[in-house]
Amino acid sequence: MLVDQRFEGVLVPVVTPFAPDLSPDAGRFLALCQALIADGADGLAIFGTTSEANSIGAVERMALLEMLLENGVPARLLMPGVGATAMDDVVRLMRHAAQLGCGGALLLPPFYYKGVSDDGLFDFVAAVLSRTEGSKLDVYLYHIPPVAQVGFSPDLVGRLIDAFPDRIVGLKDSSGDFTNTRTLIERFPGFRVFSGSEVFLLDTLRAGGAGCITATGSVNITGIRQIYSQWRSDSAVELQQRAAAIRSIIQSYPVIPALKAIIANSTGDPAWRTVRPPLQPLDEAQSNALINELKAAHFQPSSGVIAMGRKAEAAAG
């Protein structure tokens, strides 16, 4: 659901399928994006960490984005990741997203050098914003220190909001630390704070946050979206516990290969298992164990994912 044209609710950093030669698989990517929208995703944060975006160069990312729009995916539902270590790459991706009318963009800090100062990170964001002026592209900061190592501290977020109030409109907090999420929500009213995990979705909404942008959305958008739509109801806590339990199973495996294994299993389409190196697919035993654990927990992927498999079968048959 969009209010004042800015994102809120549950967004999915869609996993990116690859062909056997490791090139991006446009057809399967489009099918999954369409399925997730049909299943109620409030937006698609394509090219996030779960999407293996940093394993996909700018040229390939831009081609995939254009392909989605050419096939009718609404640009306003897209929040592509524009992260890269080089400002010229980020500027290129941001201009492209802006020209295509995307609903926003998700911006990683530059993540090669470690231990950099807030001043340096501020200058980086200022540099890319000054080179994309007039674009009116909403920028969401992407805070994921467990992977990027470099992050946006609350003080830095405050400086960026003060300096660029019309451009820096929100943040995805994948710190895994809800105290940090709460701090951001309380310190910056009107700023759209998304948790990076559905485990904190109810807490985030109760604190006044905007929603979540979560990896597991690629397979469980329905279950997670229910928390959002019913968060003021009596069933909210149970829905939250249920989603957290499913995530906990998935997270006990390498998450990105696990999500792909689940989609491969649900659709009967093993092509979904492919990841780009340095990631590795789950092996057969891991994959079977994961599927069995999810079965025991009575989990079924969202209907759109399953329907993808039926459509592929029909096309093949």
Least Å distance between CB 63 and a second copy? Answer: 11
Least Å distance between CB 70 and a second copy? Answer: 21
Which is nearer to a second copy, 74 or 254 (by Cβ)?
254
Which is nearer to a second copy, 114 or 232 (by Cβ)?
114
62 near a second copy, judged by CB under 8 A? no
101 near a second copy, judged by CB under 8 A? no
Contact 96, 60 (CB under 8 A): no
Among 46, 64, 150, 193, binds a second copy (CB under 8 A): 150
Which is nearer to a second copy, 65 or 210 (by Cβ)?
65
88 near a second copy, judged by CB under 8 A? yes
Determine the distance from the C-alpha atom of residue 178 to the mean position of all C-alpha atoms in its chain, rounded to a whole number.
Answer: 18
Among 10, 45, 56, 193, binds a second copy (CB under 8 A): 56
Which is nearer to a second copy, 123 or 155 (by Cβ)?
123
Which is nearer to a second copy, 216 or 266 (by Cβ)?
216
Stretch that binds a second copy, among 36-44, 80-88, 242-250, 261-269 (CB under 8 A): 80-88
Residues with Cβ within 8 Å of 227's Cβ and at least 6 positions away in sequence, in order, are 10, 198, 201, 202, 236, 239, 240, 243
List Cα–Cα distances, 313 to 24, 111, 198, 255, 267, in angstroms: 21, 42, 32, 27, 9
Residue whose structure tokens are 């995307």:
102
For residues 22 to 41, the per-residue mask of contacts with a second copy, x marking binding by CB under 8 A and - elsewhere, is x-------------------
Stretch that binds a second copy, among 117-125, 180-188, 213-221, 297-305 (CB under 8 A): 117-125
Contact 210, 193 (CB under 8 A): yes
87 near a second copy, judged by CB under 8 A? yes
89 near a second copy, judged by CB under 8 A? yes
55 near a second copy, judged by CB under 8 A? yes
109 near a second copy, judged by CB under 8 A? yes
Can you tell me the distance from the alpha carbon of 317 to that of 301, in angstroms, rounded to the nearest whole number? 23
Give the total of residues touching a second copy (CB under 8 A).
42
Stretch that binds a second copy, among 109-117, 198-206, 228-236, 242-250 (CB under 8 A): 109-117
Map the footprint of a second copy across residues 249-268, applying CB under 8 A: none
72 near a second copy, judged by CB under 8 A? no
Among 276, 300, 306, 307, binds a second copy (CB under 8 A): 276
Residues that bind a second copy (CB under 8 A): 22, 49, 54-60, 84-89, 92, 109-114, 116-117, 119-124, 126-127, 146-150, 276-280
